[in-house]
Amino acid sequence: MQCDDTGYIIFISFPVKTLTLTTQPNKGLSMANEKNNNNNNNNNVEQSTKSNNLPKVFIHGPPQFSIVLQPNPSQNFHILNPSSLPSLHEFISLNPHQASSISAILCTTLYPVNADVIRLLPSLRLICASSAGTNHIDLSECRRRGIKVTSAGNLFSEEVADMAVALLIDVSRKISTADRFLRRQVQNQFATWDFPLGSKLTGKKIGIVGMGRIGLEVAKRLEAFNCMISYNSRNKKPLLSYPFYSSVLELATNTNVLILCCDLNDQTKYIVNKEVILALGKGGIIVNVGRGALIDEKELLKCLIEGEIGGAGLDVFENEPNVPKEFFSLDNVVLSPHAAILTSDTFMSICQLVEQNLEAFFSNKPLITPVI
C-alpha cells in the first residue's frame, strides 16, 4: 500500500501472472481539502464584507484613465469601478443605492465635476484631480459643501515646460510643415519647394504669461537659447531679474513670442484677445500650454488665416476634446491633444500622488497637495 501525490491510496495486488492497480480516494485528505475550500470561501466573504464597509472611491474618467490611475488596494478605501465603466451618471442610474456611499472621486480635466455632479453624491468628501488645473471642478460648490479638493500641484511642471519649448521650436523652425512637405515630395518627384522658411529661436524676445513653477521652468530652458525673457503675472516676483509687465498687452508689444502658462479663471479668460494678438506683429508666435480659453480662439484663427500673426503652438483648446477644424489646414499651427503631461514617468508619479492623498484623507492626515 502506497500514497501517491494526488491524495489517493494505491492498493497493489499481485496475482500469479498479472499486475492490477486500483485506486481509492483518501478520505482524510478529501475532508481536509473541503475544509480548506470552506475556509477560503469564508475569507472571501469576510473580505467582501470588509470592502463594503470601507469608504468608496469612484474613478470619474475614460476607460484608459483607470488603467493608468489605479491606486493600490488599501485598508482605508475601496475603488468602486476599477475598470472606469460605466460613467458616473450611468453607474448611479444602475446602482442608485451606491450614490450615497461614494466618499471620494478621482477625475480628469475632460470629465467636469460641476454642481450637478456634486449634488448626485450626498456623501462626497474628497475630489482628487489628476491635473494641476482645477477649472473643471466647481470649487464654490465644494467650499459650500465642505468638500476637500486636491490637484497634481507642481508634479507636471517640467513636462509642461518641455512641451512649451518643443511647440515653440516646431512652430518657429517649421518642423511639422517640413515633415509634411517631404512626405508629399517623396510621393511626387516634381513637387516644388513651396513651404515658408522658419526663423531661429536664439535671441528671441519671449513673454511668459504666468510666472509660476511652469513659467519658471520655461524661462530656465529658454535661457539656454539666449532668449530675452519678460513676464506678466498677478504680482511682480521680487527675486526675479526678468522685466515685469503689468498687462499682457504691454508684454505682447515688447516681445516676439507669448507663452501662456497661467491658470484659467474669470480674470484670465480671453486674456489674449485680438488686440494682444495684433500687438505681437506678423512674425509673432503664441504658445499655449495653460488652458484653451486663455485665448479668444475665433480671433486667433482669423489672425492666423489672414497672416496677422506668424504662428501658434497649441496643446489646449477652448472646447476640448473638440478642436476647430479650421486649424487642421494651417501650416503655421502645430497642434497637440492636451498631451503636455502624457509621459510614462508622469503616469507613475500621479498614480502615487493620488494614492498618497487618498491614504492621507481617509487616515485623517494632512493632504499632500490640497487646493481647498
**Catalytic residue set:** 291, 320, 338
Asked whether the beta carbons of 57 and 106 are under 8 A apart, the reply is: yes
CA dihedral 205, 206, 211, 212 (to 10 degrees): -140
CA quadruple 159, 165, 168, 173: dihedral sign: negative
Asked whether the beta carbons of 303 and 327 are under 8 A apart, the reply is: no
Rounded to whole angstroms, the Cα distance separating 273 from 230 reads 19
Dmax (CA) of the chain: 111
Rounded to 5 degrees, φ, ψ at 10 are -105, 120
Rounded to 5 degrees, φ, ψ at 254 are -110, 15
Grid cell, residue 9, equals: 491510496
Grid cell, residue 123, equals: 456623501
The neighbour count for residue 15, using CB atoms within 10 Å, is 7
DSSP class of 272: B
With H, G, I as helix, E, B as strand and everything else as coil, classify residue 104: strand
Beta strand spans in the chain (E): 2-3, 8-13, 20-25, 56-60, 78-79, 102-107, 126-129, 148-150, 205-209, 228-232, 257-260, 285-288, 311-314, 333-335
